[in-house]
Amino acid sequence: MALTRLGPNQLINLASNVTGTLPAGNGGTGSTTFSPGKVLQLVTAHKTDANSLSTSSSAADVSNLTCAITPSATSSYVYVTANFVYQLYGNTSSTTPHGQVQLLNNADTVLAKTQFYENISNNSYSADGQGTLEAYYNPNTTSQISFNLAILASAGRMLIYGDDQSYTTKPTQITVMEISV
Amino acid sequence: MTDLDKMTVSIEKLQPNSEYTLNSDSSTVNETLFNSINWISENNLTWSQVKAEMDKL
């Protein structure tokens, strides 16, 4: 192969002076030489009512918050992320209000969960916070699947914020992506 | 303390350790909201009892 060294101000006409095939650079030429994961679709939903609260140690669905997706292939994975804002309140019954937030699918499988615990000096105090739950798995279906949150309170009161039409807008959301692997 | 806090505190005072869930579409606390409570434990309270307790807070 003949090589030509170019000076600092010399140009090459790519249309007429280059022959052969350029090798692929590091990382290849897009999807023709490697197989990256691809986001095939994305759906999102937010809690549309003001709030949901629980004083129960049994998990209960958060209302008006369901995110549904229909995978295009059984080999696809779904990546689910839920962002939420919560409040733990002593409710005059506990100085250690604590509870759980769970991410579930429509089969009521708990995909992820987390516990929040507050130690407050007065049982009529409250504490707000925010959290994220994520899941990534192969649902192995092309039927619609959906996701929602559930809460429970082991002591005091657990509340999830939604749109209250004044102070909060979309504080609690679920986003689902279909990933081709 | 919000009206919602007053309602749940009043329920706790009148009927300790009550277990329930509640979904609210606004900040308005009234009989309609009270009647929408999903009781998990037994409930013997009425809105008038709860409202009377709320008014003391």
Domain annotation covers residue B35: no
Q: Which of residues 27-56 of B touch A (CB under 8 A)?
A: 27, 38, 40-41
Amino acid occupying residue A179: I
Q: Is the model's pLDDT at A25 over the cut of 90?
A: no
**Model ipTM over 0.85:** yes
Q: Domain map of chain A by residue range? A: 45-180
Tell me the residue type at A135: A
Distance CA A43, CA A174 (A): 8
Domain assignment present for B22: no
For residue B44, the Cα-to-chain-centroid distance in whole angstroms is 12
Residue A30: per-residue pLDDT: 56
pTM of the model: 0.84
| Inside any domain, residue B30 | no
Q: How far is A156 from chain B (nearest CA, A)?
A: 9
In three-state secondary structure terms, A81 is strand
Of A11-25, A61-75, A129-143, least confident by mean pLDDT is A11-25
Could you give the CA distance from residue A105 to residue A150 in angstroms, rounded to a whole number?
10
Three-state DSSP at A78 gives strand
Q: How far is B18 from chain A (nearest CA, A)?
A: 7
pLDDT (average), residues A123-152: 97
Q: How many domains is chain B built from?
A: 1
Q: Looking at the predicted structure, is the pLDDT value of residue A165 above 80? A: no
Fold of A45-180: Jelly Rolls (2.60.120)
Check if B8 contacts A (Cβ < 8 Å): yes
Residue B12, H or E segment: helix B3-14
**Is the CB of residue A56 less than 8 Å away from at least one CB of chain B?**
yes
Domain assignment of residue B52, given as a range? 1-17+44-57
Yes or no, beta carbons of A91 and B9 under 8 Å apart = yes
What token pair was written down for A19?
């022959």
